[in-house]
Amino acid sequence: MKTTAQETPRERSVYVELDDVWVAYDGKWILKSIILQCYDGEIFGIVGPNGGGKTTLLNVILGLVRPAKGSVKLFGQPPGKNSRLDIGYLPQISHADRLFPVTVLDVVMMGLYSKLGFFNRPDRKSREIAMNLLSRVNMADHAQRSFGILSGGQQQRVNIARALVSKPKLLILDEPSTGVDSVAQEDFYDLLAALRDEQGVSVIMVSHDIGMVTSHADRVACLNTQLHYHGEPDSCFIPGVQEKVYGKDMKIMVHDSKCVTCFHRHEDHD
């Protein structure tokens, strides 16, 4: 099935454009015929099962994985070093060493390094910008603490501040709610919405947490090798779509329109 984009909002610039993108690893197709457009000022959510290609799709957008077929455009150009300066990125798993001798403030300032350019050092202004971001994620009090001793949720908030500190046009978030408690998650999504509304920032986020994505994204796509649906969040739950994305053995529990759980049919769910 070849998916097509929803009708395009008018007079908005296309930040990300994937046209018939195919990606294979070891002779197996991980992504097939992906067509995707993401516009300025929107939060675009991608849900799907683990192994469905979510992280690979983000890597294609970032230019870290080259598709076997199809074209990728970031801000109208093929992804490269320059277009990356306008991206804030939050990886799913941080590969950073927990014992690395840096403070919380140091970590956030790293988000500014590429924009500062070679030979320029972070100055007082960089510090102020970083501190502002730490305040927005409620971590300003921890600025001088060692990053490694923070809890997982606190580290995630700091990494989010790092992703935002360079004032990116596009934020790419891989499983942003991992290890973050629900109160902090709500704060985080409020922050995303504020950035979208105030600065026209676009967000592409992938998650296996359907409930979180559908309640906060402007558009949602469901990915399992192919992009199965594009559209308004609530319409993701039309019959048949979940089966394709999560498999026939999955049953979808819809407590209300914002709370959805998937589980195997043979499991009990009270």
Partner 1 sequence: MIEIFRLEFMQNAFMAGTMLSLVLAVVSFFVVLRRLSFIGVGVAHSAFGGVALGALLGISPTLTAIGFAVAVANAIGYIGKQGKLSTDTAIGIFFSLSMALGVIFIGMSEQYNVDLFGYLFGNILAITRTDLVIIAVLGGLVLASVFMFFKELLFVAYDREVALVSGMPVAFLDHFFLTILALAVVISMKIIGIVLVSALLVIPGAAAAQITQRYVSMIAVAIVIALISTIGGLFISYYGDLASGATIVTLASAIFFITFAVSQIRK
Task: Select from 2-10, 36-44, 101-109, 237-245 the region that touches partner 1 (CB under 8 A).
Answer: 101-109
Instruction: Please tell me whether residue 24 binds partner 1 under the rule CB under 8 A.
Output: no
Residue whose C-alpha is closest to residue 173's, from 47, 82, 51: 47
Structure tokens at 191: 């922050």
> What residue ranges in the chain does DSSP mark as E strands?
14-25, 28-39, 43-47, 69-74, 87-90, 170-174, 202-207, 219-224, 226-231, 250-256, 259-264
Instruction: Please tell me whether residue 64 binds partner 1 under the rule CB under 8 A.
Output: yes
**Least distance between partner 1 and beta carbon 68 (Å):** 16
CB-based contacts of 252, cutoff 8 Å, min separation 6? 237, 242, 246, 260, 261, 262
Task: Select from 9-17, 69-77, 106-114, 222-230 the region that touches partner 1 (CB under 8 A).
Answer: 106-114
Instruction: Please tell me whether residue 75 binds partner 1 under the rule CB under 8 A.
Output: no
Radius of gyration of the chain (CA): 19
Instruction: Please tell me whether residue 102 binds partner 1 under the rule CB under 8 A.
Output: yes
Subset of residues 125 to 164 that bind partner 1, contact rule: CB under 8 A: 146, 162
| Size of the residue set binding partner 1 (CB under 8 A) | 33
**Angle, helix 152-164 to helix 124-136, in steps of 10 degrees:** 130
Instruction: Please tell me whether residue 118 binds partner 1 under the rule CB under 8 A.
Output: yes
Binder among 1, 4, 27, 119 for partner 1 (CB under 8 A)? 119
CA angle 168, 172, 175 (to 5 degrees): 140
What CA–CA distance (Å, rounded) separates 35 from 3? 6
Instruction: Please tell me whether residue 73 binds partner 1 under the rule CB under 8 A.
Output: no
Binder among 103, 132, 185, 235 for partner 1 (CB under 8 A)? 103
Binder among 114, 135, 199, 261 for partner 1 (CB under 8 A)? 114
Residue whose C-alpha is closest to residue 224's, from 72, 5, 50: 50
Q: Which is nearer to partner 1, 94 or 138 (CB)?
A: 94
Instruction: Please tell me whether residue 232 binds partner 1 under the rule CB under 8 A.
Output: no
The sign of the dihedral angle between the CA atoms of 59, 60, 64, 67 is: positive
Instruction: Please tell me whether residue 25 binds partner 1 under the rule CB under 8 A.
Output: no
| 8-state DSSP, 243 | H
Binder among 14, 29, 40, 84 for partner 1 (CB under 8 A)? 84
Where along the sequence are the contacts to partner 1 (CB under 8 A)? 62, 64, 81-82, 84-85, 87, 89, 91, 94-97, 99-103, 106-107, 110-111, 113-114, 116, 118-119, 121-122, 146, 162, 166, 172
